[in-house]
Amino acid sequence: MQIYLVGGAVRDMLLGLPVNDSDYVVVGASAEQMLEKGYQQVGKSFPVFLHPKTSDEYALARTERKQGKGYTGFVCDFGPEIPLETDLKRRDLTINAIAQDASGNIIDPYNGRQDLEKRLLRHVSPAFAEDPLRVLRVARFAARFAHLGFSIADETMLLMSEMASSGELESLTAERIYKEMEKALTSQSPQVFFETLRQCGALSIIFPELDALFGIPAPAHWHPEIDTGIHSLMVLEQAALISTDIEVRFAALCHDFGKALTPQNEWPSHHGHDERGIIPVKALCNRLKVPNPVQDLARLACRWHIQCHKQAELSDEQLLNLLDQCDVWRKPQRFEQLLDVCQSDIRGRTGHEQDDYPQKAILLNYLHHLQQIPVSEIVKAGYKGAQIKEQLTLQRLGKLSELRG
């Protein structure tokens, strides 16, 4: 029995990056032998075992045969006779098909180290095309390693394009799509994930609400980049510099969905896109089963980002309504996240990447002062029921008028 460290752990080690998870392949062993040694089996369709002390994953070397449609239509063969090279060949990218033995020797039958040096994401074999999820995985790796200078090999991009046009991507479940997107959103360059999907033709299939923004013009005075799709990815890029929160990054991506619904005769103006955008944001979130906190901020950002930008032009009543609609009294932290999205929106424009966003400090200052108004004093004064809310509103409006001069 021989044990090899494989996959991401070897890749990240060779790149000089922190190794967070260690996966192992076991060659020359049977499931019965693993159980006898105290390993706990966790996989049924193929044998994966947890180490009795470290809980690291150990999988028996295996092959995969495509027998059905989609990413679940595989039959696995495993046994002590399957060599390491055969197991590595079924992996997605050459940089993920490198192994290390117990003595520290590197086993690299598909030139993964060479592609690491070239900063290339290249598929291992034609079997790559059998699993549509790999289109999203490669896009995610492109986002994760973009800051290191990685790009996708031409032949791999061509294969991804063929997979996108084959209809196989439609077999992906909402859960798997969201999981890949979520991982991409945590990366240093999340916009690259969506750029890659658009380049291979997958964006229109998986994220049609975002894809629809490309080719939609905006006023050059406000948006030198013109194209709303490009602007949306620029906003996501800025959001990644401002916040590590997935909620903020996803909301940044979705904030202008309404512009795809603007009648063409009104271009490049997009009056009312904030309200129109709620429908496509909900459609995307419902289809991908986006967690409630993530989709809540996306809807808020879509609906209210314009009013946050124009807070100085709002009346006291309109400003208080903005705060009420954003539920700032119960969720002040989410309002801060919304303002991070708004700041990203302002900076996500060609030539405006360093712009200040004073609205954030101003609105948070207003909120701070309004939070100090004690409801207990209103109750103590004898007001009851709906009168309490009326008096609280009056006091908040009075405070806003005072703060705004």
- Spell out the domain ranges in the chain: 1-112, 373-404
The token duo for 309 is 């930008």
User: Do 71 and 171 contact (CB within 8 A), yes or no?
Assistant: yes
In whole angstroms, give the CA distance from residue 116 to residue 94: 9
The DSSP bridge partners found for residue 66 are 74
Cβ contacts of 238-243, under 8 Å, gap ≥ 24: 238/343, 238/344, 238/347, 238/348, 238/353, 239/340, 239/341, 239/344, 239/348, 240/187, 240/188, 240/189, 240/190, 240/191, 242/340, 242/343, 242/344, 243/337, 243/340
CA-based nearest residue to 270, from 212, 227, 348, 217: 217
Map residue 3 onto helix, strand or coil.
strand
Q: Is 0.85 surpassed by the pTM of this model?
A: yes
Half-sphere exposure of 402 (CA within 13 A, CB side): 10
Q: Please state, in angstroms and rounded to a whole number, the distance separating the CA atoms of residues 193 and 181.
A: 8
Q: Tell me the C-alpha distance between 80 and 1, whole Å.
A: 8
Residue 101 has a pLDDT of 96
Identify the pLDDT of residue 87.
93
3-state SS class at 27: strand
List the structure tokens of 96: 């993920």
Half-sphere exposure of 137 (CA within 13 A, CB side): 19
d(C-alpha 187, C-alpha 153), whole Å? 20
Length of the chain: 405
Domain 1-112 homologous superfamily, CATH: Beta Polymerase, domain 2 (3.30.460.10)
For residue 273, give the nearest of 282, 284, 286, 263 by alpha carbon. Answer: 263
What pLDDT does residue 71 have?
A: 53
List, as one string, the DSSP characters of 109-169.
Answer: TT-HHHHHHHTEE-BSSGGGGG-THHHHHHHHHHHHTGGGT-EE-HHHHHHHHHHHHTTGG
pLDDT, position 119: 98
- pLDDT attached to residue 45: 65
Stretch (H or E) spanning 115: helix 112-118
Cα 397 from Cα 235, distance rounded (Å): 33
* CB atoms closer than 10 angstroms to residue 181: 23
Helix (H) or strand (E) holding 62: strand 62-66
Q: Which residue has the tokens 């309490």?
A: 388
Provide the token pair at 167. 């209809």
Q: Decide: 202 and 169 in contact? Cβ < 8 Å.
A: yes
Which residues have a Cβ under 8 Å from the Cβ of 77 and sit 6 or more positions away? 62, 63, 64, 65
Give pLDDT < 50 ranges for the chain.
none
Residue type present at position 197: L
